[in-house]
A and B are shown apart, each in its own frame.
Chain A
Amino acid sequence: GENVEQHPSTLSVQEGDSAVIKCTYSDSASNYFPWYKQELGKGPQLIIDIRSNVGEKKDQRIAVTLNKTAKHFSLHITETQPEDSAVYFCAARSMGGKLTFGQGTILTVHP
């Protein structure tokens, strides 16, 4: 089955800096790669996603890149703000529709 590895497990940045979280996946047939933000005690919230036919996608301060050959994808947050502090999960969806999550990254943005 699919295996998703996510790094780093914790990330601490100063407000205004950029944050990058990286994930690798194992199933070359996976076709959809969403990123979720989870705040304490809440369900995951989709913040951006990318499909396998696209290499990069951007939405304001958030961007995602996908390298299908290397089977890795990354989340980039620019101009970070304290409210960006949360746990971020990457995920990969395999052909059966099953979504496999990475281990999560605790992002802390210091004012």
Chain B
Amino acid sequence: GAVVSQHPSWVICKSGTSVKIECRSLDFQATTMFWYRQFPKQSLMLMATSNEGSKATYEQGVEKDKFLINHASLTLSTLTVTSAHPEDSSFYICSGTGAANTGELFFGEGSRLTVL
């Protein structure tokens, strides 16, 4: 399957700082990227959907000013957690697809965020 590279794989930061997570599609053009959050022993919860060149669409309950998503190119999307707090500690996973309604969804390896 196609490869989605996510970086960093883990990050520890102090409360109040901002953290950026990058998601790159290495061998396909991801017209749509999805960002998920996964708490321990729980399922993946969709945070937002982004199409290249457009503003992201956020799921209900997800603060768009706190979780900034940029999808400036067909191979790169970024998630910035602004003013992070301990409750933001989670596993963040991105996924990309070339066709949102028909294509397979390929996941990155995830980024473990720990906010102290």
A contacts, CB < 8 Å to B = 31-32, 34, 36, 41-46, 49, 89, 93, 95-104
Contact = CB atoms under 8 A, between A and B. Distances in A.
Contact of A46 (B1, B42, B100): B1
Interface residues of B, number: 25
Contacts, number: 54
B44 A95 contact: no
Contacts of A103: 42-43
Interface of B: 1, 4, 6, 32, 34, 42-46, 49, 93, 95, 97, 100-102, 104-110, 112
Contacts of B110: 41-43
B100 A97 contact: yes
A43 B104 contact: no
